[in-house]
Amino acid sequence: MWLETEKGLYREFSFPNFLEAWAFLSKVALISEKMDHHPDWSNSYNKVYIHLMTHSAGNTITEKDRKLAERIDQVYSP
């Protein structure tokens, strides 16, 4: 579930291991590039942390963020 914070939409993802977390990051990277909307994210072993906001709109949440969040949810399979 995505949380709305002062930094935008936020979600943590957990995976069985580092390799699966990295595969998820790779899939999201391809989607983000196609949408021309790139997340702020980090990875620590089997965890991925993603913040979505639109920098060009004053670092606010826009429809681009919500659409990317939906696409990310479609890729995630715990």
Residue 69, pLDDT score: 98
What's the Cα-to-Cα distance from 11 to each of 70, 77, rounded to whole Å? Answer: 12, 14
Query: pLDDT by residue (tens digit) across 3-31?
Result: 998 879 999 999 999 999 999 999 999 99
CATH number at residue 45: 3.30.1360.20
Domain contains 30: yes
Domain contains 4: no
- As a dihedral over the C-alpha atoms of residue 20, residue 48, residue 14, residue 29, rounded to 10 degrees, the angle is -50
Domain contains 10: no
Give the dihedral sign, CA 61/64/68/69. positive
Kindly give the interhelix angle for 18-35 and 63-75, rounded to the nearest 10 degrees.
Answer: 140
For residue 59, pLDDT beyond 90: no
Among candidate residues 11, 67, 73, 4, the one with its CA nearest the CA of residue 35: 67
Average pLDDT over residues 52-67: 93
If one counts the domains in the chain, the total is: 1
Average pLDDT over residues 50-75: 95
Q: What is the pTM of this model?
A: 0.92
